[in-house]
Structure 1
C-alpha cells in the first residue's frame, strides 16, 4: 500500500547537564559542564547557560574554562542518565513499538500506525514531550516529518523545548532553504569543502548532479543527492545493530612511558570485556586510539580471522598496535574499540528498501 511515513525524532535538551541541574537545585541557571575538569579532559555535555559562552561537547576542558570562567564541572553519572532514559523509553512505547534509540537522549519513532490511533504526528510529539516533562521534569524537543533525515534536522530548529513539523508538501522548500551546515551528517570539514564548491544551501546542493557529488564526496555524494530531494528510505529499526564497542581514558597527566600505557590499556581491555559479555557480542577488528599532548589524533587497526571477546586477546592486539610505530609525542588519551562484530551477520539480508510514494496526510 502506498503511504507516507510519519516519523518523529525526539531529542532531550542538554540531557546530561539538565539531569545534573534537576538533581542539584544549586546548579540551576548556572553554566554546567559534565565531564572533564578545569585542568583536564573533555566536556561530555554543556548546559544552555554554558553554551552561551561557546562551551560545547567534545571541547577541551581547558578551552571551555577559558571561554567561561564561572563554568562548573560535574562528574558524569551514567547510571542515573540511563535510569531516566529508560523512563522516557517507556513513554515512547506507549505510542509505538517502532522506536529506534540513537543514544540515551534521542530516538526515532515511527507513528504512521500508532497505539493511540492518533492521525496527527504533530499532536503525538507534543503529547510525548508533555509526558516526559511530567514524568522526569526534563525538556525535550522534537522534529516531525516524512523520513528520519528530515525529522532529525527539524528537531534542532526550535530547540530548546520546542518542535518543528515539516509536512509532505513543505519538504522540498524546507530543504532548499536550509543552510548546508544544518544538514545532518555535514560536519565542519564537509561544509568547508561544499563552500569551496559554491554550495551554501540545499538549493545549491540540489543543482549539482549525482556524478558531480560522487566525484567530490565519494559514497556520501549519492546520499546528499537523494536527501536534498526528500528521499531517505532508512526505516525506523527497533533493534539497531551495534557496529562497535569500546572504551577510552583521558589521563590527568600526559604519559610517555610505554609501560604505563600498557597498564592503562589493560584496564581499558578489562572494561571492554565486561561490556562485551553484557552485550553478548564479539568482534574481529581491534582499533587503538591515541590522542597526543598536542591534541592530534591517531588510530591503528588490525583485523583477525576469528571473533574475540576476552581482555587477554584484545590487550595482545592493542599492545601490538602500540608498538607498531614509534610514538611521536607524550599521550593524553588512549582508547580501544572492537568492531566488525558478530551482530552484523545477516545485516544486509535484513535491510529492505521500500519505495515510498509521498501522499498528503494530516500531520
Structure 2
C-alpha cells in the first residue's frame, strides 16, 4: 500500500448523454436517454435528469419509456464520443506518463513522481483545476475525480464524488471510508456474489471486514474469498498500467450493470470491431486472429478466439467472427465486461476466399482476478445495438446531418420515409425544425463538428 494518496481515477459524468446535451442545446436540462430506441433496445446511458425518474443503463427501452415518456431517446454517435474521449485522455497524459484508460470515459492516472502535490487539501485543489480544464477543453463536459492510495480507493472515491465532484481519501482512512458502503462498492462483487454474501448477512463492507476469512472462502471460493477480504480493508497494490507496445489491439467496456440482452451485446461488438479496425488501419496492419473477452457478474472471465485462413482489417468481418464467438456464450449469466481484440498481425492482406461461420475456436481462462473499472433508431428499420452499427438507414434519432441550404442539424425523428431535423449546433441553439423526404438530395449524413482542442488520431491512440 502507498503511504500517500497518489492514484487518480477520473470518470466522465453520464458521458454519452452529456455529449448529446452539449451538442444539442435544446436538450440541455432535459431527460435524455442514449440507446433503448429499437424494438429490443437497451439503455446505454441516461442523463441525470432521466435518472431522477428511475432510468438507468441496462434497462430495457420499453421500461425507460414507461418511466419517462417525454425523454429524448437517441441512437449513439460513437465518433462524437471518441472525439471527446481523445481530448480527455490527452489531458490526462499531460499529468503523467502512466495513464490506464479503462474505456472511453474512465481512466486511472499514477501521480507518483509527478508535479502533483501530496497534501490532501492541495490534492483536492489540484483535482478541481483538472476538472475545470477538462470542462474547458471538452466545451462543457464534467467529470468526477477520486484520489486514493490504490486503484480501489481512487475508484471508490470517484463514485462517492458523483456527480461532478472530487473526493480525496487520505492514507490511513481507507477501511473507515469503505466500512459503511454496500458490498457492491467492492470491485468484482456482482449480482451473484452479492446474493451469496447476503445469505451470510453480509450487506456492508464493514460486515465483510468482520467476517472470518474461512467463511468468505467457503462462500465465494478460494481465489476470490481472500481477495475480497483484502479489498474490504482497502488493501490493493495493483499498479497503473501505462502504454506498452501492442502485440494486439482490443477495445473493452465494463458495464455499469450486468447485461443479458444478446442483441445489445452484438451492437456493442459492432462498435468495438469498427474501432479496433480503425486502429489496425492506422498501423498499416492486418490481423489473422479475432478474440472476444467476456467477464460475467460473478467475475468469471472467458476468452474465445478464432484464427482466420487469411488476414483482414474489415470491421464487418471482425464483427461477424466476434458475434459468432459470442454465440457460444450464455449471456443470461449477466455480462459485466465485453471486449473485442485482434492479433496475429501481418503487413499485407491475405484475402479469404469465403467467409465461413464455421471454424474452430479456442477457449481459455477461468476465474478472473478482480479489476476496477468500466457506460438503434426509429422503428424496426434500425439495429438494436447501442450505436446502431447495423442500421439499414442513414438517419436515426440524434444523428448528425447537414442540409445544403439550412446547414447543420440533428435528426429529431425518422420513419415512414420522412426525416425531421432540428437545425442547431452546440454554439447555435434554438434553430428551426423541418421535415424532409428521406431521399431528399439536399440532406446528407454528417460527422461531429470539429472542436477547438480536438486531438489528432495517432498510432498511439488508446481508448
TM-score normalised to structure 1 length? 0.71
Q: What is the aligned counterpart of 2:225 among 215, 221, 224?
A: 221
Q: How far 1:185 moved relative to its partner? A: 2.5
Give the match for residue 215 of structure 2: 212
Is the CA contact (8 Å cut-off) linking 2:5 and 2:169 kept in structure 1? no
Q: Which moved more, 1:82-91 or 1:116-125?
A: 116-125
Is the counterpart of residue 171 in structure 1 residue 194 in structure 2?
no
SS across alignment from 1:69: coil
Structure 2 distance, partners of 1:31, 1:61, is 14
1:313–1:21: structure 2 CA closer, same or farther, 3 Å change rule? closer
Compare the two structures and name the one with the higher helix fraction.
1
Contact 1:145 1:168 (C-alpha < 8 Å) held by counterparts: yes
Aligned to 2:69: 69
Structure 2 gap ranges (5+): 254-260, 295-301, 329-337, 346-463
Aligned to 1:50: 50
Which of 236, 241, 258 pairs up with 2:240? 236
Q: Which moved more, 1:211-220 or 1:67-76?
A: 211-220
Q: Deviations over 1:108-128 (max 9, x none)?
A: 111122145675432221111
The CA deviation at 1:47 is 0.3
Is the aligned partner of 1:123 residue 2:110?
A: no
Q: Deviations over 1:130-165 (max 9, x none)?
A: 111222211111111100011111111131111111
The Cα shift of 1:72 comes to 1.0
Structure 1 gaps, min length 5: 252-260, 290-299, 325-335, 344-363
| CA-based RMSD | 4.0
Asked if the contact 2:150–2:236 (Cα under 8 Å) also holds between the matched residues in 1, the reply is yes
Provide the C-alpha distance between the structure 2 equivalents of 1:269 and 1:167, rounded to a whole number of angstroms.
37
CA distance in 1, matches of 2:277, 2:99: 26
Size of the aligned set, in residue pairs, is 310
Higher relative contact order, chain-length normalized (CA < 8 Å, sep 6+): 2
**Deviation of residue 184 (structure 1)?**
2.7
Deviating more after overlay: 308-317 vs 59-68: 308-317
> Relative to structure 2, which stretch is displaced further, 270-279 or 37-46?
270-279
Give the 3 Å change call, closer, same or farther, for CA 172–307 of structure 1 in structure 2.
Answer: farther
Verify the 8 A CA contact 1:282 1:307 in the aligned structure 2. no
Distance 2:127 2:252 in 1: 33
2:459 is aligned to: none
| Cα distance change on mapping 1:314 and 1:9 into 2, 3 Å | closer
1:83 maps to what in 2? 83
SS at structure 1 position matched to 2:59 = coil
Q: Which residue of 1 aligns with 2:205?
A: 202
Match for residue 136 of structure 2 among 130, 134, 137: 134
Q: Could you say what secondary structure the match of 1:156 adopts?
A: helix
Q: 1:133 to 1:224 in 2, by over 3 A?
A: same
Deviation (angstroms), 1:30: 1.0
1:181 shift after superposition = 2.2
Equivalence for 2:418: none
Name 1:28's counterpart in structure 2.
Answer: 28
Contact 1:34 1:43 in 2 (8 A): yes
